[in-house]
Chain A
Amino acid sequence: MKPVAFDYERPASLEDAIALLSGAGARVLAGGQSLGPMLNLRLAQPELLVDITYIPELKTAERQGDGLWLGACVTHAEIEDGAVPDVTNGALAFVAGGIAYRAVRNRGTVGGSLAHADPAADWVTCLSALGADAVIAGPSGERRVPVSEFLSGAFETALEVGEILRGVWIPTLSSAASWGYYKFCRKAGDFAEAIGAVLQDPERGIVRTVLGATNARPIVIDGAYGDESVRASIDSQGGDMDAYDRQVHFVTAKRAAMIAGVRVA
Chain B
Amino acid sequence: MDGVEGTGVGASVPRREDDRYMRGRGQYIGDIKLAGMKDVAFLRSPVAHGHIRAVDIPDALRSKVTIAADMVGVKAIRAVTALPGFKVSEQPALADGKVRYVGELLAMCVAGDRAEAEDIAQAIAVDFDELPAVHDMLQAREADAPLLHEQWGDNVFLESVVDDPNFDTVAEKATVHIMREFRTARQCMAPLEGRGVVAQWDNRLEQLVVYSATQMPHIVRTGLSDCLGIDHGKIRVIAPDVGGGFGYKGILLPEEVAICWLAMQVRHPVRWLEDRREQLSANANCREHHYVVTAHADSTGRLIALEAKAHVDSGAYSAYPFSACLEAAQVGSILPGPYDFEGFRCTTWSSATNKPPILPYRGVARTGVCFALELMIDAIAREVGREPHEVRQLNLVPASAMPFDNITAKHFDSGDYPECLRRAVEAIDVPGIRARQAKGEADGRLIGVGLSIFCEQGAHGTSVYSGWGIPMVPGHEQCSARLTPDGELELRIGAHSHGQGLETTLAQVANEVLGIDIDAVKLVHGDTQYTPYSTGTWGSRCMVMSGGAVARACQAIGERAARIGATLLQTDVESVQIENGNVVAPGGTVSLAEIARVWYLKPQDLPPDVDPAGLEVTVGYKPDRDTGTFSYAAHAALVAVDPELGHVEILDYAIVEDGGVLVNPMIVDGQVSGGTAQGIGTALYEEMPFDAQGQPLASTLADYLLPGPVEVPDVRILHMETPSPYTEFGQKGIGESGAIGPPAAIGNAINDALKELGVEVDALPITPRRLLALIQAAAT
Contact residues of A with B, CB < 8 Å? 1-5, 37, 41-42, 184, 186-191, 193, 243-244, 247-248, 251-252
Contact = CB atoms under 8 A, between A and B. Distances in A.
A184 B707 contact: no
Given A4-B119, A191-B702, A243-B776, 5 more contacts: A4-B115, A5-B115, A5-B119, A187-B685, A247-B776
A186 B707 CA distance: 9
A187 B773 contact: no
The 7 A-B residue pairs whose C-beta atoms are closest, nearest first, are: A2-B115, A188-B710, A251-B644, A244-B769, A2-B114, A187-B711, A244-B772
A186 B118 contact: no
Given A2-B114, A3-B115, A42-B118, A186 B700 contact: no
25 contacts: A2-B114, A5-B119, A37-B700, A41-B277, A41-B700, A42-B122, A184-B647, A186-B705, A186-B768, A187-B685, A187-B705, A188-B708, A190-B702, A190-B705, A191-B702, A243-B773, A244-B768, A244-B769, A244-B773, A247-B645, A247-B776, A248-B645, A248-B768, A251-B644, A251-B645
Interface in B671-715: 685, 700, 702, 705, 707-708, 710-711
B572 interface: no
Nearest to B115: A2
Contacts of A243: 772-773, 776
Interface residues of B, number: 26
A187 B704 CA distance: 12
B270 to A, nearest CB: 17
Given A3-B115, A251-B644, A187 B708 contact: yes
Contacts of B685: 186-187
B164 interface: no
A188 B702 CA distance: 12
Contacts of B707: 187
B647, B685, B700, B768 pick with most chain A CB within 10 angstroms: B768
A247 B705 contact: no
Contacts of A186: 647, 685, 705, 767-768
Interface in B702-730: 702, 705, 707-708, 710-711
A247 B772 CA distance: 9
A255 B469 CA distance: 58
Interface of A is mostly: loop
Nearest to A247: B772
Contacts of B767: 186
Contacts of B119: 4-5
Nearest to A248: B645
B77 to A, nearest CB: 25
A41 B115 CA distance: 11
A75 B646 CA distance: 32
B275 interface: yes
Interface of B: 113-115, 118-119, 122, 275, 277, 644-647, 685, 700, 702, 705, 707-708, 710-711, 767-769, 772-773, 776
A230 to B, nearest CB: 14
Contacts of A248: 645-646, 768, 772
Contacts of B118: 1-2, 42
Contacts of A244: 768-769, 772-773
Contacts of B710: 187-189
A42 B121 CA distance: 12
Nearest to A101: B708
A187 B684 CA distance: 10
A4, A193, A247, A251 pick with most chain B CB within 10 angstroms: A247
A252 B645 CA distance: 9
B190 to A, nearest CB: 14
B701 to A, nearest CB: 10
B115 A193 contact: no
Nearest to B769: A244
A252 B708 CA distance: 23
A29 B115 CA distance: 20
A3 B707 CA distance: 28
B115 A189 contact: no
Nearest to B275: A1
Contacts of B115: 2-5
Contacts of B711: 187-188
A122 to B, nearest CB: 15
Contacts of B645: 184, 247-248, 251-252
A42 B114 CA distance: 13
Contacts of A184: 645, 647, 768
B115, B122, B705 pick with most chain A CB within 10 angstroms: B115
B440 to A, nearest CB: 14
B364 to A, nearest CB: 26
B776 to A, nearest CB: 7
Given A42-B118, A184-B645, A187-B710, A193 B768 contact: yes
Contacts of A189: 708, 710
Contacts of B772: 243-244, 247-248
Nearest to A184: B645
A80 B636 CA distance: 38
B771 to A, nearest CB: 10
A215 to B, nearest CB: 15
B490 to A, nearest CB: 41
A118 to B, nearest CB: 11
A121 to B, nearest CB: 13
A1 B708 CA distance: 24
A190 to B, nearest CB: 7
A5 B776 CA distance: 51
B106 to A, nearest CB: 16
A252 B702 CA distance: 22
A248 B114 CA distance: 42
Nearest to A2: B115
Contacts of A252: 645
Contacts of B114: 2
Nearest to B767: A186
A100 to B, nearest CB: 10
B187 to A, nearest CB: 16
A184 B645 CA distance: 8
Contacts of B644: 247, 251
A190 B645 CA distance: 16
Contacts of B768: 184, 186, 193, 244, 248
A183 B371 CA distance: 31
A248 B708 CA distance: 22
A3 B41 CA distance: 13
A55 B772 CA distance: 48
Contacts of B122: 42
Contacts of A191: 702
Nearest to B648: A186
A186 B772 CA distance: 13
Contacts of A5: 115, 119
A125 to B, nearest CB: 17
Nearest to A252: B645
